[in-house]
Amino acid sequence: MREREEKRREEKRREEKRREEKRREEKRREEKRREEKRREKRREEKKREEMRREEKRREEKRREEKRREEKRREEKRREEKRREEKRREEKRREEKRREEKRREEKRREEKRREEKRREEKRTDD
């Protein structure tokens, strides 16, 4: 009778031990799953972060390109303005030269007429 009792208790202890082991095992597995989930989350977050940074870099590049483009356009406009100004200046100078030529021509003409009148006067006298 005692032996049976002893056996039963022994069996119970073994059973309890197995259950305990099972619980621990389950706990370990659960912890592993949680850990894996956390890692996955971190990986995902890292990916998103990387994507955000990448997007930022692209955005910055686009802005930079825009600025350069604007600068080029501005430079072109200024250059065009300078050329335009030069052309106008050249025109003004040209006009001045022509004007000067006309005046000169007029003076010469006047001189010739004057000379002619004097000549005629001398011949008349």
What share of residues in the chain are helix, strand, coil (percent, to 5)?
100, 0, 0
Mean pLDDT for all residues in the chain: 96
What burial letters (b/e) apply to 32-54, b meaning 16+ CB within 10 Å? eeeeeeeeeeeeeeeeeeeeeee
- Decide if pLDDT at 124 tops 80: no
Q: How confident is the model at residue 13 (pLDDT cuts 50, 70, 90)?
A: very high
Rounded CA gap, 109 and 112, in Å? 5
pTM of the predicted model, to two decimals? 0.48
Give the HSE-up count for residue 71: Cα atoms under 13 Å, Cβ half-sphere.
Answer: 6
Q: How confident is the model at residue 120 (pLDDT cuts 50, 70, 90)?
A: confident
